[in-house]
Structure 1
């Protein structure tokens, strides 16, 4: 994935380019790794893999940009729940029917 121009930054994607990329982003999200740790994983993989071209992004910033641009029909709602010390706190949530619809769109499940 090469997303250097502003046009590519706004492009919407349907899926990851390969399974290694998808698995990396699952790992990063699941364990809430720091950017430095994520970049170290990418560097380690690229150094020790036998791939001519890496299936991973050049750095985690590219990966996160990609994740933000994945097409989704999940619509989040935002509700302010608290004002404390001049700070507003919000709850972000999605409706249950939207979640069920997304699950049913996965071909392996249905």
Structure 2
């Protein structure tokens, strides 16, 4: 639907395409592209809207940065049911299962001493949010000619499997 809206494709052409190439008894697509466009216009989701900024121009080529505002990206992450159900609000102290040895176990960010000490300094009803940003080069095509450096965002308040 985003391609239809951005390319300004007519409703008649797109409706014929959907009907001809749909092999489902009941299509999950809207009955018409007009309905689809109306539905998209009602959605206000940070996960859909990227901002675009021209960073530089080299040899006549504009290099653009596509991004989300960090606050919006965090908001989109926290709204995911899988994230919300596994979010760690308070620091955790883990001790070895061995009853003879009272060895402290450190594995997650929210299990460290710094986290526990910092929590005590926060006003009541406030929690720490660990925002982790990292970048890694990736290739966008199979030949290796097009690459990029996306910045990934995750939250330290989540268990690794999430």
Shorter-chain TM-score range:
0.3 to 0.5
Whose radius of gyration is greater, 1 or 2? 2
Structure number with the higher helix fraction is 1
Instruction: Name the TM-score, length of structure 1 as normaliser.
Output: 0.41
Instruction: Name the TM-score, length of structure 2 as normaliser.
Output: 0.29
Higher relative contact order (CA 8 A, sep 6+): 1
